[in-house]
């Protein structure tokens, strides 16, 4: 479960280019709920994600994950509960290390790392099984360096790394935006499968209106650093792409274009 | 002419054992450069200061009658602290890591003088770790055995460590710090310990050198960094760095090759004062190689 209370973040305070990134943002996501965040550039989506992951310190307000106030915790402490997949496939993996080593790093997320052997036979088997879900044959390439994979394959590995330790909260930051349409669909399908299988509390940012309609329990539209509209239940089921685009007063063309 | 060549050759061969002993000791400096550069992606120059620090601490400990092995460890421990200082200056004050290393190296010069109380300290006649193998009567042979043994022990321990859960996390810090942090790894702490450990290796080299040559000198670190860098580059060219094992072997193999090469050049009549210039040009060429290759590829296209 995620709760954001009255979050405020301003940049360059007192200077001519002062910018309010988060302006009293409030958001609640129940355990197991899948929220889709949409909004134009500068609406505060990235700031919200950074505030939740710990990369951004709030000026005021609180972030609660699974009922605990994590506002003061740095990124590596929050990693116990939060997993994040970035838009850029390069950011989520260690390129010069092997697939199996990357899986190990994610497997031990938030746990105490000791002087025991890292890649045991049992772990390698487990990671192979986890990767085989993708159907990309990556389970046979456990000892390949990640920089030998395509962007789509890397992103698929990032996703498996993020979900397999069953985090209390999964953040998907436009994670299919940099991929070609076919790979994007594959990664999206794997995402939905994992979120359902593990009943993960998930927040996903997307500019793809079709994805926003097809997936998730609730559409959250952000504007000017706060939640402007939330659509759930019956209204959410009847939602169409044109209707959703209608909600955007600005940058409508860009949104329509990104439907396909 | 052939007589000249034979003379050069026999001069070189005669120096092989002593050069080998020296290169095994100094391979710890190459290792101390490799660990931050390659494993932690932290550009670090602390070795230049940690080397004489380890030597100074070891010399004072020996002069005080301490066991030579404990004196080695004490020297390495001092290096660890110096490395942690470099990392802390970088992490806390956001000062560039290279500048942080230069600052620490500069400050260590004064500290070395304070520790020794004078610019150089003789420990001639004091027991040394090279006495550990009385069966080997040849002094160079004993040094090769003891220093080589230390190298093997440290490499095996490092290899084992880098395959543990903790070691894998450490490598992730160098490979992708943002990702490492997102996986719950305390990046700052890993950097502090890693850079500290690297400087400890350089200090260990200084301590081994002091016991080998029988004295410590405040200027003994001059140029060890560039020699270590040249060693590392040769080693990586020879054994590559595709795996952790190769990456660990590179500084040692490179150090052995580099110092034999230097010895050959000196035997062939190169004036010793030109050595640093030659090494500097060599390192520069090795660093420029990728740019030169790109340039010629563009010219060809």
- Contacts of residue B4, defined as CB under 8 A and 6 or more positions apart, other chains included, come to none
Cβ contact B74:B66 at 8 Å: yes
Question: Which residues in chain B have their CB less than 8 angstroms from residue A53's CB?
Answer: 182
Backbone phi and psi for residue A61, each to the nearest 5 degrees, phi listed first: 100, 175
Specify the pLDDT at position B36.
96
Specify the pLDDT at position A121.
95
Give A149 to chain B, closest Cα distance, Å: 16
CA neighbor of B103 nearest in space, from B22, B63, B178, B44: B44
Of A77, A105, A116, the CB nearest to B172: A105
* Number of domain units in chain A: 1
Find, in chain B, the residue whose alpha carbon is nearest to that of A98. B243
Inter-chain touch B172–A97, beta carbons under 8 Å = yes
Specify the pLDDT at position A260.
42
Find, in chain B, the residue whose alpha carbon is nearest to that of A106. B183
Inter-chain touch A110–B184, beta carbons under 8 Å = yes
pTM beyond 0.90, yes or no: no
Inter-chain touch A92–B168, beta carbons under 8 Å = no
How many CB atoms lie under 10 A from the CB of residue A23?
A: 15
Find, in chain A, the residue whose alpha carbon is nearest to that of B183. A109
**Polymer length in residues for chain A:** 260
Q: Which residues of chain B have pLDDT under 50?
A: none
Give B52 to chain A, closest Cα distance, Å: 32
For residue A109, the SS3 value is coil
Give B187 to chain A, closest Cα distance, Å: 8
Specify the pLDDT at position B7.
84
Inter-chain touch A97–B163, beta carbons under 8 Å = no
Inter-chain touch A108–B167, beta carbons under 8 Å = no
In percent, the amount of chain A with pLDDT more than 90 equals 60
Which ranges in A35-120 belong to alpha helices (H)? 45-53, 75-78, 99-107
Find, in chain A, the residue whose alpha carbon is nearest to that of B174. A94
Q: Mind giving me the DSSP string for A191-226?
A: HHHHHHHHT--EEEE-S-HHHHHHS-SEEEEEETTE
Inter-chain touch B184–A79, beta carbons under 8 Å = yes
Token output for B257: 């090759």
- Contacts of residue A232, defined as CB under 8 A and 6 or more positions apart, other chains included, come to A217, A218, A219
Inter-chain touch B164–A116, beta carbons under 8 Å = yes
How many CB atoms lie under 10 A from the CB of residue B114?
A: 9
**Most confidently predicted of A89-93, A185-189, A216-220, B227-231:** B227-231
Cβ contact A164:A104 at 8 Å: no
3-state secondary structure A67-80: CEECCCCCHHHHCC
User: Given a cut of 90, is residue A245 above it in pLDDT?
Assistant: no
ipTM > 0.90? no
User: Given a cut of 90, is residue A89 above it in pLDDT?
Assistant: no
Specify the pLDDT at position A257.
53
Domain that holds residue A208: 2-257
Question: CA B129 to CA B23: how far, in whole Å?
Answer: 17
Give B60 to chain A, closest Cα distance, Å: 34
User: Given a cut of 50, is residue A259 above it in pLDDT?
Assistant: no
Q: Compute the C-alpha angle B218/B75/B211, nearest 5°.
A: 70
Q: DSSP state, B130? A: G
Inter-chain touch B175–A118, beta carbons under 8 Å = no
Find, in chain B, the residue whose alpha carbon is nearest to that of A146. B175
Q: Which long-range contacts (CB under 8 A, 24 or more apart) does B259-266 make?
A: B259/B19, B259/B20, B259/B22, B259/B23, B259/B26, B259/B231, B260/B16, B260/B19, B260/B20, B260/B23, B261/B234, B262/B19, B263/B12, B263/B15, B263/B16, B263/B19, B264/B12
Inter-chain touch B183–A79, beta carbons under 8 Å = yes
Size of interface A-B (CB pairs under 8 A): 84
Q: Label the pairing between strands A226-232 and B120-122.
A: unpaired
pLDDT in tens, A22-65: 999 999 999 999 999 998 888 899 999 999 999 999 999 999 99
CA neighbor of B31 nearest in space, from B282, B260, B176, B225: B225
Q: Which residues of A224-258 are buried (b: 16+ CB within 10 A; e: fewer)?
A: ebbbeeebeeeebeebebeebbebbeeeeeebeee
Specify the pLDDT at position A200.
93
How many CB atoms lie under 10 A from the CB of residue A66?
A: 16
Handedness of CA A53, A56, A57, A62 (dihedral sign): negative
Strand partners, B247: none
Inter-chain touch B181–A79, beta carbons under 8 Å = yes
Q: What CATH number has the domain bearing residue A146?
A: 3.40.50.300
Inter-chain touch B182–A93, beta carbons under 8 Å = no
Of A75, A95, A111, the CB nearest to B175: A95
Question: CA B132 to CA B215: how far, in whole Å?
Answer: 19
| Domain ranges, ordered by start, for chain B | 2-222
Inter-chain touch B163–A117, beta carbons under 8 Å = yes
Question: Which residues in chain A have their CB less than 8 angstroms from residue B178's CB?
Answer: 91
Specify the pLDDT at position B34.
97
Specify the pLDDT at position A234.
83
- In the stretch 168-207 of chain B, residues with CB closer than 8 A to chain A read 168-169, 171-172, 175-176, 178-187
A215-229 mean pLDDT:
90
In percent, the amount of chain B with pLDDT more than 90 equals 78
Share the mean pLDDT of chain A.
89
């Amino acid at each position: 479960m995620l709760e954001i209370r009255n979050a405020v973040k301003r940049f360059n305070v007192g200077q001519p280019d002062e910018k309010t990134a988060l302006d009293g943002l409030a958001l609640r996501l129940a355990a197991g709920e899948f929220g889709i965040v949409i909004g134009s550039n500068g609406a505060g989506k990235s700031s919200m994600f950074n505030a939740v992951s710990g990369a951004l310190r709030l000026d005021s307000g609180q972030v609660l994950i699974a009922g605990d106030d994590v506002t003061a915790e740095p990124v590596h402490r929050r990693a116990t509960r939060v997993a994040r997949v970035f838009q850029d496939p390069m950011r989520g993996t260690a390129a010069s290390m092997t697939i199996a080593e990357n899986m190990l790093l994610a497997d031990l997320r938030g746990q105490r790392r000791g002087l025991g052997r890292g890649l045991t036979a049992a772990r390698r088997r487990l990671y192979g099984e986890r990767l085989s879900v993708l159907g990309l044959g990556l389970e046979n390439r456990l000892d390949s360096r990640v920089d030998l994979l395509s962007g789509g394959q890397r992103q698929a590995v990032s996703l498996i790394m993020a979900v397999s330790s069953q985090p209390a909260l999964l953040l998907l930051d436009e994670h299919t935006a940099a991929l070609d349409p076919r790979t994007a669909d594959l990664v999206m399908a794997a995402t939905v499968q994992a979120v359902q299988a593990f009943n993960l509390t998930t927040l996903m940012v997307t500019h793809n209106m079709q994805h926003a309609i097809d997936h998730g329990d609730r559409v959250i539209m952000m504007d000017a650093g706060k939640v402007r509209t939330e659509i759930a239940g019956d209204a959410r089921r009847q939602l169409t792409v044109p209707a959703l685009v209608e909600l955007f007063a600005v940058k409508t063309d860009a949104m329509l274009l990104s439907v396909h | 002419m052939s007589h000249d060549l034979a003379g050069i050759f026999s001069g070189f061969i005669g120096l092989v054992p002593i050069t080998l002993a020296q290169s095994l000791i100094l391979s710890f400096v190459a290792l101390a450069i490799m660990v931050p550069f390659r494993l932690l992606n932290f550009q670090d120059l602390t070795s230049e200061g940690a080397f004489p620090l380890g030597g100074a601490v070891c010399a004072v400990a020996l002069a005080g009658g301490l066991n030579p092995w404990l004196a080695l460890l004490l020297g390495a421990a001092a290096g660890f602290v110096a490395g942690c200082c470099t990392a802390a200056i970088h992490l806390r004050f956001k000062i560039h890591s290279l500048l942080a290393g230069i600052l620490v190296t500069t400050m260590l010069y004064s500290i070395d003088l304070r520790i020794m109380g004078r610019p150089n300290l003789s420990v001639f006649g004091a027991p040394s770790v090279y006495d550990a193998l009385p069966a080997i009567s040849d002094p160079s042979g004993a040094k090769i055995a003891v220093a080589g043994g230390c190298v093997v022990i440290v490499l095996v321990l490092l290899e084992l460590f880098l395959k543990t859960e903790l070691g894998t996390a450490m490598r992730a810090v160098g490979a992708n710090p943002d990702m490492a942090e997102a996986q719950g790894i305390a990046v700052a702490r890993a950097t502090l310990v890693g850079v500290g450990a690297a400087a400890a290796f350089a200090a260990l080299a200084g301590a081994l050198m002091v016991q080998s040559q029988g004295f410590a000198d405040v200027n003994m670190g001059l140029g060890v960094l560039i020699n270590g860098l040249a060693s590392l580059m040769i080693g990586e060219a020879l054994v590559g760095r595709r795996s952790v094992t190769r990456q660990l072997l590179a500084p040692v193999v490179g150090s052995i090759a580099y110092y034999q090469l230097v010895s050959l050049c000196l035997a062939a009549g190169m004036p010793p004062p030109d050595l640093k210039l030659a090494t500097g040009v060599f390192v520069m060429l090795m660093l420029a190689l990728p740019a030169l290759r790109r340039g010629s590829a563009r010219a060809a296209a």
